[in-house]
Amino acid sequence: MLYGAVETGGTKIICGVMDETGELLDILRFPTDTPEYSVEKIAGFFSNHNICAVGIGSFGPVDVNEASDTYGNILDTPKLQWRNYPFLQRLKSKMKIPMVIDTDVNCACIGETEYGAGKGFDNVIYITVGTGIGVGVVVNGRSLKGMLHPEGGHILLRRNPNDIYEGKCPYHKDCFEGLASGPALAGRVGRPAFELDEDNPVWDIEADYIAQAVSNYILTYSPEKIIIGGGVLEQEHLFPIIRNKVKEYLNGYIRTPQLEQIEDYIVPARLKGNQGLYGAYFLAKTLIQKG
Q: Can you give the pLDDT of all 291 residues of the chain as single tens digits?
A: 999 999 999 889 999 999 999 999 999 999 999 999 999 999 999 999 999 999 999 998 999 999 999 999 999 988 899 999 999 999 999 999 999 999 999 999 999 999 999 999 999 999 999 999 999 999 999 999 988 888 999 999 999 999 999 999 999 998 999 999 999 999 999 999 889 999 999 999 999 999 999 999 999 999 999 999 999 999 999 999 999 999 999 999 999 999 999 999 999 999 988 999 999 999 999 999 987
The CATH class given to the 2-104 domain equals alpha beta
Domain 2-104 matches domain 117-268 at the CATH topology level: yes
Element (H, E) at 106: helix 104-115
Whole-number Å distance between alpha carbons of 157 and 191? 24
Kindly report the backbone phi and psi dihedral angles of residue 110, in degrees, each rounded to the nearest multiple of 5, phi listed first.
-60, -45
Whole-number Å distance between alpha carbons of 8 and 94? 17
- Backbone φ/ψ region at 229: left (φ over 0), alpha (ψ -120 to 50), beta: beta
Query: Residue 175: helix, strand or coil by DSSP?
Result: strand
CA distances from 7 to 19, 32, 58, 60, 146 (A): 17, 11, 6, 12, 22
pLDDT at 5: 98
What is the CATH T-level fold of the domain 117-268, as seen in this structure? Nucleotidyltransferase; domain 5 (3.30.420)
For the chain, the domains span 2-104, 117-268
pLDDT at 87: 98
CB 25 within 8 A of CB 68: no
Query: Residue 145: helix, strand or coil by DSSP?
Result: coil
